[in-house]
A and B are shown apart, each in its own frame.
Chain A
Amino acid sequence: MKVFLKILKVILTIVFFSYTLFVLYFLGLAPKEKRFKIAGHQQGVYLSQTMFNILTYQNPNYSDAYFEQSVPFNKRGDFATGFQLLNKAVELDPSLHLGYRGYMKLRFLRDYKKALFDLNRLDSLTPNFTDAPWGEDIDFLRGECHFGNKEYQKAIDCFNRNVKNNKEDWVDINTFTYLGMCEYELGNYEKSISEFNRVLKQSENTPEAHFGLAKAYLKLENLDKVNEHILKAEKSIDYKREDPYKEFQNEIYLEEITEFKQKMNQ
Chain B
Amino acid sequence: MKNKLNLFLLISFLIALVLTIWLNYQVTNRVGDLSFNKEIDKSTFKVCDEKRIPQYYSTKSNYQGGKKAIKKELWKTTEQLNFGNSGFITFRFIINCNGKIGRFRIKTIDSELKENSFDSLKIKTLQASIIKLQKWNAGTWKDKTLDSYFVLNFKIEQGKITDIF
By a beta-carbon cutoff of 8 Å, the part of chain A in contact with chain B is: 6, 9-10, 12-13, 16-17, 19-20, 23, 42, 44-47, 49-50, 72-73, 75-80, 83-84, 109-111, 244-247, 251, 253, 255-256
Q: 27 interchain pairs (CB within 8 A)?
A: A10-B5, A16-B12, A16-B16, A19-B16, A20-B15, A42-B27, A45-B26, A47-B27, A50-B26, A73-B31, A75-B55, A76-B55, A77-B92, A79-B88, A80-B114, A83-B113, A109-B88, A109-B113, A109-B153, A109-B155, A111-B111, A244-B58, A246-B165, A247-B68, A251-B66, A255-B69, A256-B68
B66→A49 contact, CB < 8 A? no
CA distance A75 to B57 in the complex (A): 9
Which of A73, A76, A83, A255 counts the most chain B CB atoms within 10 A?
A76
The answer to whether A80 touches B64, judged by C-beta atoms less than 8 angstroms apart, is no
Q: In chain B between 4 and 20, which residues have their CB closer than 8 angstroms to a CB of chain A?
A: 5-6, 8-9, 12-13, 15-16, 19
Residue of A nearest to B6 (CB): A9
CB distance from A243 to the nearest CB of B (A): 9
**Once bound together, how far apart are the Cα atoms of A23 and B69, in whole Å?**
49
Secondary structure of the A side of the interface?
helix
Residue B107, interface by CB 8 Å? yes
Give the residue name and chain of the B residue nearest to A17 (CB). B12
**Is there an interface contact between A46 and B163, defined as CB atoms closer than 8 Å?**
no
**B12 pairs with A77, CB closer than 8 A:** no
Chain A nearest CB from B92 CB (Å) reads 5
Are A13 and B8 in touch, CB under 8 angstroms?
yes
Are B155 and A46 in contact, CB atoms less than 8 angstroms apart? no
Choose among A19, A44, A80, A111 the residue that contacts B32 (Cβ–Cβ < 8 A).
A44
- Residues A77 and B32 in contact, CB atoms below 8 Å apart: yes
Say whether A110 contacts B163, CB under 8 Å: yes
Tell me how far the C-beta of A76 lies from the nearest C-beta in chain B, rounded to whole angstroms.
3
- Which among A19, A44, A80, A253 is the interface contact of B30 at CB below 8 angstroms? A44
Contact A13/B88 with A45-B30, A80-B113 known, Cβ cut-off 8 Å: no
**B60 contacts chain A at the CB level, 8 A cutoff:** yes
Contact, CB under 8 Å: B69 / A253: yes
Residues of A within 8 A of B65 (CB): 253, 255-256
Asked whether B67 is an interface residue with its Cβ less than 8 Å from the other chain, the reply is yes
Binary contact track B37-71/A, C-beta < 8 Å → 1, others 0: 00000000000000000011110100011111100
Q: Is the CB of B32 within 8 A of A76?
A: yes
Closest 9 CB pairs of A and B: A76-B32, A16-B12, A47-B26, A255-B65, A77-B151, A244-B57, A77-B90, A16-B16, A83-B113
